Amino acid sequence: MAYEIITIRCLDDNYAFVVANTRTGEAALIDAPEAAPINAALAARPDITLTTLLLTHHHHDHVEGIDGLDRLADLTITGAAADAHRLPALDQMVSPGEQITICDTPFHIMAADGHTLNHIAFYAPALDAVFTGDSLMTHGCGRLFEGTAAQMCDTMQGFAALRDETRTYCGHDYARANLTFAALFAPEPQALATRLAELDQLDATQTSTTGVTIGLEKQLNPYLRAHLPQVKASLDLPQTTPTVDVFAEIRTRKDKF
């Protein structure tokens, strides 16, 4: 495949991502937390040219690097139409359910409400990749600043419906803390042990912790497992408890963890 996903560490624990079409040289950036590391990563790749910036949501740690990007005037900035009033000036407005072509491949716009209202995610089927911002996190989900548990639960179910092979790219490195919490809610034991060992290796080599598959998240992430009997039992909740209420209880406990 003529595509490459480049992960860029920004600020204290943020990630930005570059999707590069290595055949055409076009590249798209997902979120811009900090300009300097993004500019440096692109300068190290003279074979690609940034043409597009995709924004998942309006929070400052996802947009504050925009003004410092090299060749900013050449970028098409794309974000949610419903959030245009609090995003940087957009050249292209999109809504959930739409499809756009970026770097010569389709990207589907997914609703990802919960962390904020009008949060969106970008799913590229040909790449088996979804860029989730602060909605689905590695082994967790984003804090509910504006949306409700019901909205975030719907968002998680949307991600769970993607192919198990789909890799998830989120906006922060919270993997270890999330997994420590997830271990309380009946994850698959072998998957948990394997992933803990892998995180040790990733930490030792300062390698990105994001890019795990939906299939693995279904084994570990309690927010994708709130419908399961063993998860309800781990919370001492009746088996008749609706999934959204299980989800809400897990998120409430995480906020206090």
Digit-coded pLDDT (tens) for 193-228: 999 999 999 988 989 999 999 999 999 999 999 999
Global pTM exceeds 0.95: yes
Q: How many domains does the chain have?
A: 1
In order of 14, 28, 64, 70, 231, the CA distances from 43 in angstroms are 20, 14, 20, 9, 46
Q: Which two tokens stand for residue 38?
A: 């993004």
* CATH (domain of 113): 3.60.15.10
In whole angstroms, what is the distance from residue 179 CA to residue 21 CA?
33
Instruction: Label residue 105 by pLDDT band (50, 70, 90).
Output: very high
Residue 173 is which amino acid?
D
Q: Whole-number mean pLDDT of the chain?
A: 97
Q: Are 195 and 220 in contact (CB under 8 A)?
A: yes
Tell how many helices (H) and how many strands (E) occur in the chain. 8, 14
Q: What is the mean pLDDT of the segment spanning 16-27?
A: 97
User: 209: helix, coil or strand?
Assistant: coil
Q: What is the mean pLDDT of the segment spanning 94-106?
A: 97
Give the DSSP H or E segment for 171: none
Q: What is the mean pLDDT of the segment spanning 127-135?
A: 98
Instruction: Label residue 11 by pLDDT band (50, 70, 90).
Output: very high
Give phi and psi for 241, each to the nearest 5: -65, 130
* pLDDT exceeds cutoff 80 at 38: yes
In order of 8, 52, 108, 193, the CA distances from 105 in angstroms are 21, 13, 10, 36
Domain extent at residue 199: 3-256
Distance between terminal CA atoms of the chain?
42
* Nearest alpha-carbon partner for 28 in 106, 88, 84, 97: 106
- pLDDT for the residue 1: 64
Share of the chain above pLDDT 90, in %: 98
* Nearest alpha-carbon partner for 209 in 165, 246, 171: 171
Angle made by CA atoms 34, 78, 144, in degrees to the nearest 5: 70
Bridge partners, residue 129, by sequence: 124, 167
